Structure 1
Amino acid sequence: MSTEVESQPPASNQRPIPQEAFDWYDEYAHGLIDRRTFLTRLTGLAALGFSLTTLTGALLPNYALAEQVSFNDPQIKATYLKFSSPQGSSEGQGYFVQPANLSGKAPVVLVVHENRGLNPYIKDVARRLAKQGFVAFAPDGLYPLGGYPGNDDDGRALQAMMNRKVLEEDFIAAALFLKEHSLSNGKLGAVGFCFGGYIVNMLAATIPNELDAAVPFYGTPAAEPLRKNVRGPLMLQFGGLDRRVNETWPGYEKALKANGADYIAYTYDGVYHGFHNDSTSRYSEPEAELAWRRTLEFFKAKLA
């Protein structure tokens, strides 16, 4: 078990967006303030020479930037699969991606979205995994309400309407469905981002004997009574400027140490919550690429 903090030099000499703008976006993205309050606060930065158009264009996602692997890539095959969730919404659906040339079985990885449904960035992450030889499955938590609506604002509002326990049960069901899939070699990994990071931590606490490798990106821990069940292996990824999530880490790490859990945690200095998401200006390429390389190496070692 270990915890590491790493720093990188600034990526460019462009005038940076003020820290408070990222903090406000984090509050907005997680439902702590509404859109009007968020935009009003951004307007207040005009005195510093930032226009509202510049700020919203930088902070809000642009999914045209996020496609690293085309859905037409000949090395992968993608489709949608339904799964049963008797303790949750009865039925779920997700984006299923496998290597096109797969013969036999392969390790499987559950990919868990943020708090806004199965958006293009998360689907691209699933395709990236398939390019590396994994079978990836990205459930859409919003499927019972019609699925990801095509934009993050509406997706966030829909997810806020869902019963949290039902949503959690849907992801547990999806994980078990994936592990038992005919293409699975019986080894299950999970990676998630933000809300998805929380779900990965929750899976590590609720189905510890089924989950063989967990990588939560900037996710909060499972409920405190469940943490005693976590054994790992886990690789936890944190942004150094992500105060909201990072405040939860000391207590979680204390529980992991008490459990004798197999874990390693990386904190990337100077980057924000969401630093892996390449559709917004929170993205930091050096740290995102390093964190993703480590994630792939971890899965290859634990799921072979």
Structure 2
Amino acid sequence: MTSPTQNTYKQYSTHSPEYSIPQEAFDWYDEYAHGLIDRRTFLAKLSKLVALGFSMSVLSAALLPNYALAEQVSFNDADIKAEYATFASPNGYGEGRGYLVTPASLSGQAPVVLVVHENRGLNPYIKDVARRLAKAGFIAFAPDALHTLGGYPGNDDEGRSMQKSLDKAKIEQDFLAAASFLKAHPASNGKLGAVGFCFGGYVVNMLAARMGEQLAAGVPFYGTPAAKELRANIQAPLLIQLAELDKRVNATWPDYEQDLKANDAIFEMHMYPQANHGFHNDSTGRYDKDNAELAWSRTLNFFKQHLA
């Protein structure tokens, strides 16, 4: 597929085959996915690319998730045990529910990692991330903020609308309760880590700011920081993963970095070149395999260092 401005486009993989999609399309999708523009406006912007010679099917394949592509560890993998667990959340929505995955060979105690989804509920990609952690030897728990509404509905658009309808403060309390539930798991070694993506990245920053020393390590992927007045409470080491093309989140980084330095926080930040917001999510064309694998290897090493 070509267009008059082909030389300004970057190659993005939709897993099969590769299409040249303009960066603007990924920026528009990010605006749509985070509520900055509505669906009608998003589609109107895409229609301009159709006029340049792109088909809507090609654009949809590059931008919208195909969760069949995101399974790296099967739910019935012999090395893990996957189940669901509920927990009490008296300051949130009363009860939470999440996807609990443990190493099948676990005979004693192990470090625990909370996995926090994006702004659309517990989709298959996030469940797979939990399985990847269990495969690496951690006990992983991925709560679903949409539990009280029936859980992730099976598609991201509806999931986003459902999550938007909820009280953000209560959602945060649910994740705080989930973190405490996981830390107290009978097989936990008492060392709690958290990793999150997009909204989940914000939640990891929020947990670090609210939990103090109760959180042993946090890895926010392209997440905005906690409220400024809370940042002085951060005690957990943070591994901050950002994408070079993610203008929205990156605009918050200089102020956050300044506060972390002022408070003598332990942190490291990695900016992944030519990567989009969502580059770790292997269900869409925003996925950047090389950067995603590097970021994930850093994540595992960080947790092994701080949670052992």
TM-score by length of 2: 0.94
CA contact (8 A) 1:237 1:291 kept: yes
Question: For residue 92 of structure 2, what is the aligned residue in structure 1?
Answer: 88
Measured after TM superposition, the shift of residue 145 of structure 1 is 1.0
Question: For residue 28 of structure 1, what is the aligned residue in structure 2?
Answer: 32
- Name the stretch that deviates more: 208-217 or 43-52: 43-52
Q: How many equivalent pairs are there? A: 296
CA contact (8 A) 1:231 1:259 kept: no
CA contact (8 A) 2:11 2:18 kept: no
Aligned pairs (5 A) from 1:10-159: 16-159=20-163
Question: For residue 167 of structure 1, what is the aligned residue in structure 2?
Answer: 171
Question: For residue 6 of structure 1, what is the aligned residue in structure 2?
Answer: none
SS of 1:209's equivalent?
Answer: helix
Q: RMSD in angstroms over aligned alpha carbons?
A: 1.4
- Name the stretch that deviates more: 31-40 or 198-207: 31-40
**Which letter does structure 2 place at the counterpart of 1:88?**
G
List 4+ stretches of structure 1 deviating above 6 A: 9-13
| Cα distance in 2, alignment partners of residues 277 and 93 from structure 1 | 23
Measured after TM superposition, the shift of residue 210 of structure 1 is 0.6
Aligned pairs (5 A) from 1:156-195: 156-195=160-199
Which runs of no fewer than 5 residues in structure 2 stay unpaired? 1-9
Deviations 1:69-92 (A, max 9, x none): 000101000000000001111110
Deviations 1:37-70 (A, max 9, x none): 1111101102332111110111000000000000
- Name the stretch that deviates more: 153-162 or 33-42: 33-42
Percent of aligned pairs sharing the same letter: 67
CA contact (8 A) 2:213 2:236 kept: no
Question: For residue 237 of structure 2, what is the aligned residue in structure 1?
Answer: 233
| Cα distance in 2, alignment partners of residues 161 and 269 from structure 1 | 35
| Cα distance in 2, alignment partners of residues 61 and 244 from structure 1 | 21
SS of 1:144's equivalent?
Answer: helix
Measured after TM superposition, the shift of residue 15 of structure 1 is 5.1
**Which letter does structure 2 place at the counterpart of 1:291?**
A
Question: For residue 4 of structure 1, what is the aligned residue in structure 2?
Answer: none
Answer yes or no: is 1:248 the counterpart of 2:252. Answer: yes
Answer yes or no: is 1:271 the counterpart of 2:282. Answer: no
CA contact (8 A) 2:204 2:218 kept: yes
**Which letter does structure 1 place at the counterpart of 2:284?**
T
Which of 213, 217, 238 does residue 217 from structure 2 map onto?
213
| Cα distance in 2, alignment partners of residues 295 and 235 from structure 1 | 7
SS of 1:33's equivalent?
Answer: coil
Which runs of no fewer than 5 residues in structure 1 stay unpaired? 1-8
CA contact (8 A) 2:65 2:283 kept: yes
